[in-house]
Amino acid sequence: MKLKVLGCYGGNIPGHGTTSLLVDDSVCLDAGWVSNALNLADQERVKDIFISHSHLDHTCSLPFLIDNNFSAPGFALRIYAIPEVIAAMKNHLFNNLTWPDFTCLPNDLTPVLKLVEIEPETPIKVNGLTVRAVHVSHIVPTTGFIVDDGKGVLAFSSDTGPTERFWEIVNQTRRLKAVITECSFPNELQELANASGHLTPQALETELPKLKRDVPVFLYGGKPKHLKRITSQVRALKRAKLDFLVQGKTYSF
Ligand SMILES: [Zn+2]
């Protein structure tokens, strides 16, 4: 499986984009930085996007991705998410106020956007990948995704505080190659992390032992203002096979 990191931060400043991971050039996990990271030709190849939750740092490039490619022949985008997330996007993003409702444009029969509800823990096959959504513990309804290409499996938690079910499923997953989870705030902002459903380096110290598999763990989601502190505190954990995702890098799993 090929994974390109389009954006991997919990905010955006020049050189640091919000969360979006591109799998095998055509399927995205979250859409915080798709139109920002890909040229128009590469944007057209993205046909399927799994959205973990409704927060803007995971959805904010969707309106521009659709707008950029609206007139491209045959362009259509399918967005997959649990029903609560689909409802939030319908009501607050593609609501004809914030942005046009592209689920009925250019017409009801052949819209450029389809919002597809998925059930947690029920596998769905998309473009050669089998994807399962798994609930995690954030302040809005959120799932991570377990992505299987038939050879290897990648587990992405998306935004979460301390959680249980995700790690249970991950530990049961055969051919697991890597886990991506988050670390948004430094230790001194633990209260803010608790209130907002995020992890700190010290929270990771109790979270990561829930993973019973010997696979690399990659972190994303750091708030740009706190990256130096987060990095030094994660390094101080001295945990093997723990590293940060690198924006723009392509990984093979
Ligand atoms: Zn969030």
Find the 161 Cα to ligand 1 centroid distance in Å.
10
Find the 149 Cα to ligand 1 centroid distance in Å.
26
pLDDT of 71: 86
Residues 57, 184: Cα–Cα separation, whole Å? 12
Find the 26 Cα to ligand 1 centroid distance in Å.
23
Residues 105, 177: Cα–Cα separation, whole Å? 40
Find the 53 Cα to ligand 1 centroid distance in Å.
7
Find the 107 Cα to ligand 1 centroid distance in Å.
32
Find the 138 Cα to ligand 1 centroid distance in Å.
7
pLDDT of 109: 84
Find the 104 Cα to ligand 1 centroid distance in Å.
28
Find the 221 Cα to ligand 1 centroid distance in Å.
9
| pLDDT-flagged residues of the chain (< 50) | none
Find the 106 Cα to ligand 1 centroid distance in Å.
31
Find the 131 Cα to ligand 1 centroid distance in Å.
20
The answer, as to whether pTM is greater than 0.85, is yes
Q: Comparing C-alpha atoms, which of 87, 93, 85, 29 is closest to residue 66?
A: 93
pLDDT of 74: 82
pLDDT of 75: 87
Q: Comparing C-alpha atoms, which of 92, 83, 39, 85 is closest to residue 63?
A: 92
pLDDT of 107: 87
- Tell the burial category of 252 from Cβ atoms under 10 Å away from its Cβ (0-12, 13-18, 19+): exposed
pLDDT of 108: 84
Find the 225 Cα to ligand 1 centroid distance in Å.
17
pLDDT of 189: 98
